[in-house]
Structure 1
Amino acid sequence: MNVRMNWGSICFFMFTVLISELQGAVTKSEVFTTLQDTSFLRLKSSAAADIKSYEELSGALQLLSKLFGDKLKSAEKNLKIVLEKDPDDIEAMFLMGIVLRYNGKLDESENLFKRVISKDDRFFAFDFRNVWLQLGYVYKESKKYELAVDAFKQGAIINLQDTWPLIELSDVFIDMNRPEEASEAFNAGLNDIKDSKAIERLFIDVQDIASKTELAQWENLKSNEEKLQFIRTFWKKRDPNPIDPVNQRLIEHYRRLDFARQSYGRPLKPWYDDRGLIYVRLGKPDRVYFGKPRQDIKENESWLYDNIKTGLYFDFVDVGSGYQLRSLIDAADKSASMEEIIGVFDERATLHPYYQQMAQKIRTQADVQRIRAENDLNNIQTGKGGANLVEAFERFEKSQIGTQFLGNNTYQQDYIGNEVFAQQNQHFVFDFGAPHLPMNVNFASFKGQSKNSRMEFYFIVPFEKLNFIPDKNQLEKYTSNLKLNLKIYDTKYNEITSTEREVTVNSNATELKTHFYLDQIEQELVPGKYVMAVEIRNNEKDRVGIYQFVVSVRDYTADTLTVSDIELAQYVDNTLVKDKFVKPQTTLKVVPNPAAGILKDKPLTVYYEIYNLTVNNEGKSSYQVSYSIKMLDTDQSFLSSIAGIFSSNKDASTSSVTVKEGKSTSEKEYIGFDISELPKGVARLEIKVKDLLSNKETVSGINLTIVEDDKATSISKSNQENQN
């Protein structure tokens, strides 16, 4: 090969070498070291890229990659070259530790990560998570859970600006069956996750239990902060008891998710097949049947959920890329005979009547088809005409080959109802550690201080539902302890306020069957929508009641004529005694009635307030109040059926309209109705107020459930409230 170089280039090269040698700046070994470092960096970068490519694969594809691919093998080969030349290359050790973990060599991986930590306990490289988190993954897979906890905690401390390590920590706590710590770690982990792919993974984890509305909401979210808030609210909404530190729904979901991905994995997101989908939504089936091996029948299985819904079953067929929800007819290959298809259903005949009926239906239609085909052939042979020979043989073949005959079948409609059920329903059973304590709750809002509204919550628990203990100091006396915890959240489940109350309920033997505990809690709230959670415990663990409600707090700040919410009451009285049921700045004692139903043979009493009435020069108001009760399941109005009205002025009247005169811009009103002539059912009570000075009108309403049976409502058994 000819090399041409001009004298100018030669002189420049010789001059550069001379100067470098004089300055001692470059030696042969340093040149080699520079080239080697560049080569090593290229090898490590290539290994890191191979590892990331491998991590993008699902569990099933990762297994195939190990068997037939070269991602991990290529990464390991490159890293070995580096470590052979420089065993202390910390980046190579770090990456090799990851490769060894993926290859299942957990002890070797653990040792390498420990060596990295001994050199730099905050080390990370190539955008992989820090060395403590890598070690935590090794411990978790080795089932060394306590060590994994320590490693993930240490990994979280290294970078307090990224809370993802707490999500990993939560997963370990779930494996350790420590639900309270798992819930706490998960919630804290949502504070500030930097990796958008990690946030996306959290959504993939929940998309199969999300509503259509939630799926649409997610698509419109842009920032990490918005997405993390979505995940946080998603789980708070599903927490069966937000007052308790454990989110049982979260814990159970991730247990199911882990099982589904391990047992029913597939290459594509969300990394499980249709069996995993049903398992995530409905939990473990009560019975599983695996189809018998047949030559022309794909692998198949059936799940039955006897305890969720009678007749709830699901059939799955292996279509090659995992099991899909299919009719068992789809398990048949093109060459499958009718008898083979019938056999798939026959073998399940004892599981559910559906399978026996399907076998019989297919057998009957197959017999009809075969008879018609045979008749066609006989007719041709005897010269009686009918179908031509080609058509006759085609029909005869189809009567023998099942899939061709069933190609356009309508059998799937017998099965599709259960698929719809799975799409629309989820099944979770939660254990609160005690039998359920029934309680009725109601609420009403009124004008509060400043720009707030006053929200009143009413609770009632029948004595017969409580566990009473004989009083040691008094004969024929009994006591029971109640602890009530109420928390109010905004719609994103940020806690706004909370109230705790503990009372001792006293009773004698007679009252145990007739009385109830009645209570009321008030809160000043900014108008808007809230979530109210209530936990009530009887003797701590004898009985537990958990309730959640969405409540709308009305805005009373506008300077317009307004009627408050309507409070259903047992009775209203005037008193000078301080009492929890006395309305603020009044002597009116309004004992609430939060019962499930209103008895026909008891008076219907209501309390409400009117705001922003017009007053004349003498400071007096004039207004008209009209009342109407209408059954919601008919068009009939029952104003004429109200036998009597007794109002705050105690004047009985048969009229539904009353004209009144007040002494201020606000009035507090109560009224009682005799509703004995009304039919039972759901009714709507409306109170309309007309300001006779301004000619303005306003209305407020409430739905009532009118009942006849005193067992339908606990409050009817006594007109006394137990106050302690």
Structure 2
Amino acid sequence: MGWSGGPQIFSIKLIVLALSLYIVSGQAAEKRNLPQKISTNNYSTITDEATYFHLLKEADSLTFKNEFEAEILLLLDDDLKERYLNLPTLQDKKEFIIFFWKVQNPNPLLEQNDRLLDHLQRRLYARKNFPADTPPYYDDRGKYYVKYGKPFFRYRDRGGLRKINSLVTPTFSHYSVLPNETWSYVNVRPNFVVNFAQKGSVYKEIKSLKDIIVGNRRRGRLIWYWSDLMKNRFWMSPLYNDAVTTIIDVENTILSTIARSPLLSSRNFIIRDNDIRFNTRRLEDELYSSLSFTDSETRRASTDIPVAVYTPVRAKSKLPIKENIAQFKNPDGLTRLEITLYSPMKKFLNRAVSIHQDSIFVEFSSLLRNKMYSTVDENRLKKKYAARDAIDWHLPETVGYLTLKAPPDSLDFFAQVKNERNGKVGFLQKSLKVKDFSGKNLMVSDLQFYTTIEEEQQKAILPWLEINGLTLAPYPFKKIHKSTPFYCYFEVYNLKSGGVTDEYEITYKVYNDKSSTSLFKKLTKWIGGEKERSISITQTQPVLEDMSQELIALDLSNLPNGHYRLEVIVADTKNPSIQASVWREFRLEN
């Protein structure tokens, strides 16, 4: 037996690629820092993204067909394969492959495409350990390795003559088999099992385990040989285990029959083909039916699987990360996204040194990508500061603040935090609807929470900015602390063009978010007669410009702990129908 207990594997969804979405080759490594030095090694030893794409672009027709096309076809589903094969030119096919890998990238904030990196590592291993003389230069075992990675279980059999291991003793106790292997990917599907047999210098996939049996394949003997092969592989899948259970039940039935019949009792009792002393045909039929069922169900299980899966190499999210995104109107007509990222401070501490000697090295990054898989905007922030300062200020999180700009659209948002000391990362991805502030109606931006910077040391720890003469930082806690100054910032757009004439009212409401309160707590409050507490403040302001920046300090110290919603309503004092509102939920604690 070979490998066992493989790593967790994640499926990558293959999407239908319309020809209109193809990009030019030069955009494959867009806005990412790829190695500048291109390896001149042969195609079997490609280990990095830059070398792969360089050799792909330079490949002539024959080299492309042998080194790239034969391999990429393994990774395409039927629809994508048909689209690819219908492409008219070599350049079109190269661009298809470049775009294919771009779609597969699970985290574009990493320096290299992690899915492609995993593929190159598998490719290198397959060519070395399962070599073949024809493209893609590895045998059928290598094809499965490239598509699905290391098998969860692997059984290797050198072949040759062996004795049947059975509770009963057939006269035909020895048989021969070809060198063979059985691979199990129970981490992909519970009954995903593949069998291979050596044919010449390579291993070929076979439909049934019985195909490795050499010599006499008479049914009466075949089922016992086949059963013996299954016993050695009972742990490969639930189906295999069930088949072996049936085999043992049949053998026990034979032993039980012997034990009940004085005529059959003998220490040297031997099973023969079509034994007339009891109904061997019925037992053979039962065994054959069970083994055939296992074969057919195993093949059926292999039809309902992803065309390929990948094992993360560096795209392993080992650091917790949370985000808050607030959207604002930008002067250039785009939308400005202010992104606050949080990750636990303890994940960045070096336990090998004193807290007074330790430093925090952290990089925050974020990226927006459109449906064409092109980067819309990207930003990074690196910070280094003394760990003792963060501890002195009781900061449980490292905090990053980034801004991105984008046109109104449905985009993919990526964020990442990286411990620069050990290279560990945490990342997230979500679909994001970028708001459109280009209209003429009264509008309000999202709400952004800030706290004040009171000491110069805090500027080294927290990102900061100046608003209305105050030095502020994104609120450094995921929950609102009653003891920490709390400011709410937002912007109002189209006051004049939206129909507000002289004055407008801003109403701030803070009230309990009942949707986030458990049923037990609701009942406890009701039985105890506790009233829901809230805050409501209204202020009137004159219209001076078409746009207004608003910053308010909120004192929530009198509210009990719990989930709340802050709602801001902006309305014309003379015509309340002209109004806009926005809200944000938060949790309040001491």
Q: Is this a same-fold pair by TM over 0.5?
A: yes
Paired position in structure 2 for 1:621: 504
Alignment of 1:360 onto 2:360: no
Q: Which amino acid aligns with 2:245?
A: Q
Whether the 8 Å CA contact 1:441–1:594 is kept in 2: the answer is: no
Paired position in structure 2 for 1:276: 142
Whether the 8 Å CA contact 1:602–1:676 is kept in 2: the answer is: no
Deviations 1:362-398 (A, max 9, x none): 33257669999xx9xx9xxxxxxxxxxx9x9997435
Using the TM superposition, give the Cα deviation of residue 420 of structure 1 relative to its aligned residue in structure 2, in angstroms. Answer: 5.5
Per the alignment, do residues 343 and 696 of structure 1 end up closer, same or farther by CA in structure 2, a change over 3 Å counting? farther
Whether the 8 Å CA contact 2:76–2:307 is kept in 1: the answer is: no
Paired position in structure 1 for 2:284: 400
Whether the 8 Å CA contact 1:275–1:324 is kept in 2: the answer is: yes
Deviations 1:64-120 (A, max 9, x none): xxxxxxxxxxxxxxxxxxxxxxxxxxxxxxxxxxxxxxxxxxxxxxxxxxxxxxxxx
Using the TM superposition, give the Cα deviation of residue 570 of structure 1 relative to its aligned residue in structure 2, in angstroms. Answer: 5.9
Using the TM superposition, give the Cα deviation of residue 414 of structure 1 relative to its aligned residue in structure 2, in angstroms. Answer: 8.2
Paired position in structure 1 for 2:312: 428
Q: 2:440 aligns with which of 555, 559, 567?
A: 559
Whether the 8 Å CA contact 2:191–2:298 is kept in 1: the answer is: no
Per the alignment, do residues 214 and 583 of structure 1 end up closer, same or farther by CA in structure 2, a change over 3 Å counting? farther
Percent of residue pairs identical: 17
Deviations 1:495-517 (A, max 9, x none): 55555544331243892794243
Following the alignment from structure 1 to structure 2, what is the Cα–Cα distance between the partners of residues 484 and 460?
11
Using the TM superposition, give the Cα deviation of residue 441 of structure 1 relative to its aligned residue in structure 2, in angstroms. Answer: 3.5
Q: 2:231 aligns with which of 346, 353, 376?
A: 346
Q: Which amino acid aligns with 2:400?
A: D
For structure 2, which runs of at least 5 residues remain unmatched after alignment? 1-24, 29-37, 163-174, 264-273
Q: 2:119 aligns with which of 230, 237, 253?
A: 253
Following the alignment from structure 2 to structure 1, what is the Cα–Cα distance between the partners of residues 83 and 444?
36
Deviations 1:331-371 (A, max 9, x none): 67662443323211322457788755532223325766999
Whether the 8 Å CA contact 2:377–2:406 is kept in 1: the answer is: no
More contact order relative to length (CA 8 Å, sep ≥ 6): 2
Paired position in structure 1 for 2:41: 172
Paired position in structure 2 for 1:35: none
Which of the pair is proportionally richer in helix? 1
Following the alignment from structure 1 to structure 2, what is the Cα–Cα distance between the partners of residues 427 and 509?
39
For structure 1, which runs of at least 5 residues remain unmatched after alignment? 1-159, 164-168, 379-389, 652-657, 709-715, 717-724
Q: 1:695 aligns with which of 568, 577, 580?
A: 577
Query: What is the total number of aligned residue pairs between the two structures?
Result: 502
Query: How much is the aligned-residue C-alpha RMSD, in angstroms?
Result: 6.1
Following the alignment from structure 2 to structure 1, what is the Cα–Cα distance between the partners of residues 342 and 310?
31
Alignment of 1:314 onto 2:193: yes
Whether the 8 Å CA contact 1:437–1:544 is kept in 2: the answer is: yes
Following the alignment from structure 1 to structure 2, what is the Cα–Cα distance between the partners of residues 445 and 613?
18
Name the SS for the 2:401 alignment partner. Answer: strand
Q: Which amino acid aligns with 2:324?
A: N
Using the TM superposition, give the Cα deviation of residue 562 of structure 1 relative to its aligned residue in structure 2, in angstroms. Answer: 3.4
Paired position in structure 2 for 1:508: 388
Following the alignment from structure 1 to structure 2, what is the Cα–Cα distance between the partners of residues 574 and 510?
14
Whether the 8 Å CA contact 1:457–1:522 is kept in 2: the answer is: yes
Alignment of 1:465 onto 2:347: yes
Per the alignment, do residues 357 and 646 of structure 1 end up closer, same or farther by CA in structure 2, a change over 3 Å counting? same
Following the alignment from structure 1 to structure 2, what is the Cα–Cα distance between the partners of residues 703 and 270?
55
Whether the 8 Å CA contact 2:507–2:568 is kept in 1: the answer is: no
Q: 1:289 aligns with which of 139, 152, 155?
A: 155
Paired position in structure 1 for 2:324: 442
Per the alignment, do residues 511 and 371 of structure 1 end up closer, same or farther by CA in structure 2, a change over 3 Å counting? closer
Alignment of 1:453 onto 2:365: no
Per the alignment, do residues 347 and 499 of structure 1 end up closer, same or farther by CA in structure 2, a change over 3 Å counting? closer
Following the alignment from structure 1 to structure 2, what is the Cα–Cα distance between the partners of residues 687 and 208?
55
Name the SS for the 1:449 alignment partner. Answer: coil
Normalising by structure 1, we get a TM-score of 0.52
Per the alignment, do residues 193 and 319 of structure 1 end up closer, same or farther by CA in structure 2, a change over 3 Å counting? closer
Which of the pair is proportionally richer in strand? 2
Paired position in structure 1 for 2:6: none
Paired position in structure 1 for 2:7: none
Name the SS for the 1:554 alignment partner. Answer: coil
Deviations 1:387-435 (A, max 9, x none): xxx9x99974352367743376368658977885765743233399xx9
Alignment of 1:183 onto 2:49: yes
Following the alignment from structure 2 to structure 1, what is the Cα–Cα distance between the partners of residues 133 and 42?
27
Using the TM superposition, give the Cα deviation of residue 325 of structure 1 relative to its aligned residue in structure 2, in angstroms. Answer: 7.7
Following the alignment from structure 2 to structure 1, what is the Cα–Cα distance between the partners of residues 301 and 560?
44
| Deviates most, 554-563 or 182-191 | 182-191
Name the SS for the 2:502 alignment partner. Answer: coil
Name the SS for the 2:313 alignment partner. Answer: coil
Using the TM superposition, give the Cα deviation of residue 279 of structure 1 relative to its aligned residue in structure 2, in angstroms. Answer: 1.1
Using the TM superposition, give the Cα deviation of residue 445 of structure 1 relative to its aligned residue in structure 2, in angstroms. Answer: 1.8
Q: Which amino acid aligns with 1:506?
A: A
Q: Which amino acid aligns with 1:503?
A: K
Using the TM superposition, give the Cα deviation of residue 465 of structure 1 relative to its aligned residue in structure 2, in angstroms. Answer: 2.4
Q: Which amino acid aligns with 1:359?
A: V
Following the alignment from structure 1 to structure 2, what is the Cα–Cα distance between the partners of residues 369 and 345?
19
Per the alignment, do residues 468 and 403 of structure 1 end up closer, same or farther by CA in structure 2, a change over 3 Å counting? closer
Q: 1:302 aligns with which of 182, 188, 195?
A: 182
Paired position in structure 1 for 2:421: 541
Alignment of 1:521 onto 2:402: yes
Following the alignment from structure 2 to structure 1, what is the Cα–Cα distance between the partners of residues 531 and 500?
37
Following the alignment from structure 1 to structure 2, what is the Cα–Cα distance between the partners of residues 605 and 248?
40
Whether the 8 Å CA contact 1:196–1:224 is kept in 2: the answer is: no
Name the SS for the 1:344 alignment partner. Answer: helix
Using the TM superposition, give the Cα deviation of residue 281 of structure 1 relative to its aligned residue in structure 2, in angstroms. Answer: 3.5
Whether the 8 Å CA contact 1:266–1:322 is kept in 2: the answer is: no
Using the TM superposition, give the Cα deviation of residue 448 of structure 1 relative to its aligned residue in structure 2, in angstroms. Answer: 0.9
Using the TM superposition, give the Cα deviation of residue 447 of structure 1 relative to its aligned residue in structure 2, in angstroms. Answer: 0.8
Per the alignment, do residues 642 and 282 of structure 1 end up closer, same or farther by CA in structure 2, a change over 3 Å counting? farther
Q: Which amino acid aligns with 1:234?
A: F
Following the alignment from structure 1 to structure 2, what is the Cα–Cα distance between the partners of residues 617 and 347?
82
Q: Which amino acid aligns with 1:198?
A: F
Following the alignment from structure 1 to structure 2, what is the Cα–Cα distance between the partners of residues 352 and 407?
14
| Deviates most, 543-552 or 259-268 | 259-268
Paired position in structure 2 for 1:676: 561
Following the alignment from structure 2 to structure 1, what is the Cα–Cα distance between the partners of residues 73 and 234?
35
Normalising by structure 2, we get a TM-score of 0.61
Whether the 8 Å CA contact 1:630–1:637 is kept in 2: the answer is: no
Following the alignment from structure 1 to structure 2, what is the Cα–Cα distance between the partners of residues 253 and 326?
26
